[in-house]
Structure 1
Amino acid sequence: MKEQLNEIIKHVYNKKSRNLFTFLTGAGISAESGIPTYRGVDGIWIKGTKFHKPEEFGTLKYFKENPEEVWQYSLFRKKMFEDAQPNESHREILEIENLMQDKFHLITQNIDNLHKRAGTKRIYEIHGNNREIKCSNGCKGIEKLSVEIKGKDIDEDLTEKDIELLKCKECNSWMRPNILWFDERYDEKTNKRFSALKIAKNSGVLFIVGTSGATNLPITIAETTLKYGGTIVDINTEDNLFTELIKHNKNKIIIRETSTQMLKTIREIMQNIIQE
């Protein structure tokens, strides 16, 4: 497997075109930082005696009917993200970016901000992020979440000041988190859809790390890389939807190990190739 990685990384590094090293990351990469996946243990929102699955409350429809409740959950997640720290996998990806410079791109499904806090700059957050808000009624553009709005404990209500700051200055509708919900489509403004697909088209190798491909844009990114001759390296602890996509394709490497060790190995291979 290491020989295969060395061969494909060297090949892509020496190519003149379609030579990007692209990483696609998901919730699995943040697990070591203590952030459960959205569909995991904390992926059930309990309010009073009501139990909600993410597919129910993680929608624009539910937000418009229950904005305070959804904001309570979002600010609970905000506190969790802020208390977490980037882990070794985030740091290894930063080291790879430093090695590969403009040949490197990171596409992440995570909204937790840990890649940015680790220092990664060439990053596309295709599910949005929790640092920004926008009007739920469609006014104006994307704004930064006010620093006056703090993360909350799971049973903590919004304050009057929170509510004031979370209302649109144009139409007084609720502002909403700038993230992709289950009943929404990917676009370029929030989700960098077209930018991500352009990167996929020009990727010599796409490393998939800690994501199962449960949403459609990540799968389309992988399909696009394969279509234009790139190789998929699937780094996950178990088989997933990407495995189904690539299992009969020759341009693939399937690795069933933790992200931390494999990213270190990939970084060391890249260092050796650059130094040759």
Structure 2
Amino acid sequence: MAQLERIVILTGAGISAESGIDTFRSAGGLWEQHKVEDVATPEGFMRDPDLVLGFYDMRREALAKVDPNPAHRALARLESEFDGELLLVTQNVDDLHERGGAKSVLHMHGELKSALCTACEVRSPWDAPMGDRPPCPVCQAPSLRPDVVWFGEMPYQMERIYASLTRADLFVSIGTSGAVYPAAGFVQEARMAGARTLELNLEPSEGTHFFHEARHGPAGELVPAWVEEVLGS
């Protein structure tokens, strides 16, 4: 493997599914019981805030019952031991990367354990229910919502992500469907800038054909093996 200096990694629902986190497609999970437009859009929140706050309270509660898996821990090891520049971007709103040991994670879709005040627009760490309308820790207004990017809203720190993609030697997509933009377009951005591209996914994604290389199987097996390759090269 050629000497790497800059790696951008994107992780999606597939990496956390192995820890037991519900995905949009998981049978019998929280998402199957609700329509996306009811619980993951600004319009749904305006229409029925009690439903939305209750839904994210359930997701936050469920998060406390799962643990990081070998893929999360392997990426934390890579972050710690890689001599070059690494940006770890996740579409996931869980904290499993951090609990797995990662120190710097860019959550482009926000975080379950963060609250956004719609009155003062300040974000605060949050680990409690929101359904009973607790006051904002900063302005005291009962105006908190989950600090999660809903459909129709702009993901966080896109300028930083695109800037990193244009400078990367390698772009790696782990556990993503390749169906949700703008993240689904990252592989093309990276390729146009000259980066090598690698997909690690349970099965071929919708964008597999854009990657130079694709490896398919459980993230808990593929990711640690790939990290060994990088650190051993």
For normalisation by structure 2, the TM-score amounts to: 0.90
Match of 1:180 in 2: 149
1:164 partnered with 2:134: yes
How many residues align structurally?
232
> Quick one: which of 44, 49, 54 aligns to 1:62?
44
**Higher helix residue share:** 1
Residues 156-207 of structure 1 deviation map (CA, whole Å, 9 limit, x = unaligned): xx4xxx323369837x463111111012123xxxx11111111111111111
Structure-2 separation of matches of 1:141 and 1:259? 35
Extract unaligned runs of 5+ from structure 2.
Answer: none
Match of 2:219 in 1: 259
1:143 partnered with 2:112: no
Residues 111-157 of structure 1 deviation map (CA, whole Å, 9 limit, x = unaligned): 011001112123111111012111335x3322222x5x249xxxxxx
Match of 2:165 in 1: 200
Match of 1:249 in 2: none
CA 1:212–1:12 in 2, change beyond 3 Å: closer, same or farther? farther
Q: Is the 8 A contact 2:10 2:90 kept in 1?
A: yes
Structure-2 separation of matches of 1:229 and 1:194? 18
The equivalences for 1:73-222 within 5 A come to: 73-136=55-118, 139-145=120-126, 147=127, 149-150=128-129, 158=131, 162-165=132-135, 169=139, 172=141, 174-186=143-155, 191-222=156-187
Runs of 4+ with deviation above 3 angstroms = 43-46, 166-170
Structure-2 separation of matches of 1:164 and 1:36? 26
CA 1:123–1:166 in 2, change beyond 3 Å: closer, same or farther? same
CA 1:64–1:174 in 2, change beyond 3 Å: closer, same or farther? farther
SS of residue in 2 equivalent to 1:208: strand
Q: Is the 8 A contact 2:114 2:146 kept in 1?
A: yes
Q: Is the 8 A contact 2:135 2:142 kept in 1?
A: no
Match of 1:226 in 2: 191
| Amino acid aligned to 1:183 | G
SS of residue in 1 equivalent to 2:67: coil
RMSD: 2.2
SS of residue in 1 equivalent to 2:198: strand
Match of 2:6 in 1: 20
Structure-2 separation of matches of 1:24 and 1:234? 10
For normalisation by structure 1, the TM-score amounts to: 0.77
Q: Is the 8 A contact 1:12 1:20 kept in 2?
A: no
SS of residue in 2 equivalent to 1:71: helix
CA 1:93–1:219 in 2, change beyond 3 Å: closer, same or farther? same
1:72 partnered with 2:48: no
Match of 1:16 in 2: none
Match of 2:31 in 1: 44
CA 1:97–1:164 in 2, change beyond 3 Å: closer, same or farther? closer
